[in-house]
Structure 1
């Protein structure tokens, strides 16, 4: 799924914000940084708001470590010691697996929290509907 496909507009006021966010997401981190710098240049509160949003939503630091590990360290020159190079490769693969597992765990936690909040909402809604029916019957 593309980042733009995961966004939905909830109304006319939020439509252009969602579209702008999806467009910036599709262009990558550089577009977010450019938008933030332009925001500071033209009207500093906009730049500050974008900076806070990027930090809050993990746009700034979300996958940078994983990308660096997968593309930066593997491209490093061999040390000349095959045993050490094999150990290094195994360790990096293990760390990548652990990072993937941890990110999957965090996603499951977020999903469980979302489900709990939704279940609570539905319970409150059904209690309110039942109370409303009781009041109508009385």
Structure 2
């Protein structure tokens, strides 16, 4: 879906297209504010805006939020034009990713140790509740 800004719309564009382009240019907050004001002043307008936003997927396609939905590599790997800074940034990002992987491995080991301790405790409580195993002499009398 292509969104136009108010300045790129032709002069013959209707008021709805201009309003839609203006709201798209302002982002999600403008769409939400318009919907809330629609509910406050005349509830069918707010309801119509809500249905329009759901139908057109406005909350997912506002231009301001596109960079937030991009994968990590696309946002961070743009060149700044300075080779030294780009090398520093790449090295720092690589180091941070290694640290993150190490931290996630550490957390996994902690979770595994906690799970093992909880399981061992469960098995110990279960064996205490069951009591000593009955012998054949006790069961036959």
Superposed pair shares fold, TM > 0.5:
no
Larger RCO, structures 1/2 (Cα 8 Å, 6+ apart): 2
- For normalisation by structure 2, the TM-score amounts to 0.42
- For normalisation by structure 1, the TM-score amounts to 0.42
Which one has a larger percent helix, Structure 1 or Structure 2? 1
Structure number, greater radius of gyration: 2
